[in-house]
Structure 1
């Protein structure tokens, strides 16, 4: 029996992912703000702007979320197909090394296939070598043909 189950997040079970999303943001240097995290995630779900999957483990105390991934829809003009941007992937420190990241990546892949997407796209920090190994082990290929540019305000 698999230890972790993957669930799609809805407004009914959003409280499972809020602390993880907050912890994810803290990992990237942002201040903790669970209320803002809840508001942000609720808005994405209410507006159908993202799809979120969580890996949960059930025990005698109830469900515990071990990780999550959030996907945003986009499109490829060249191929005229949908592309999902895998924007967020986070696994709790205590759950790392237990296959949670791989399960979440597989759920994202299955979602992309189910929705008729061309594929998935993601980016990670150059020093995040653990994530890079996970992505490459899951079949993702580093794109060396394009540079990424950002304009932030």
Structure 2
């Protein structure tokens, strides 16, 4: 049976492994120890909310990470869903969908106005899932980023 819950510090070894797989998906340089330390810092300080998907047989198979932020246009708190990942062998089991539903419920529980996310242009499978669940692709704003270090 597939379920979700908030991540605990005891999940760090497995969560760090999945987080590193997620980073490799986006062509980041390897760094499992640093990735696990990053997650540990977020969990310890409460700087993000991490939700894991798991099965009784396989344990943790995926996660999503929500960062609190603000929308100055709506004058309201929001979440930014920056990370979502399900290990490849567990895809098509509904874990991604369940993680997204859990993220929406967490946002409601935490009094957030909305959740924003971005994904790679070529991540067609994820885009299809988002749109099938009522997420709306932004047609007004274009996202930019700039490295400062």
How far residue 13 of structure 1 moved from its aligned partner, in angstroms, is 2.5
Q: Does 1:149 align with 2:147?
A: no
| Structural mapping, 1:3-152, within 5 Å | 3-59=1-57, 64-152=59-147
With the length of structure 2 as denominator, give the TM-score of the two structures: 0.94
* Structure 2: tracts of 5 or more residues without a match: none
Q: How many residues are treated as equivalent by the alignment?
A: 148
With the length of structure 1 as denominator, give the TM-score of the two structures: 0.92
Aligned equivalents of 1:23, 1:32: Cα separation in 2 = 9
Higher helix content, 1 or 2: 2
Deviations 1:21-67 (A, max 9, x none): 011011111233221111100111122111001111112xxx52111
RMSD: 1.2
* Structure 1: tracts of 5 or more residues without a match: none
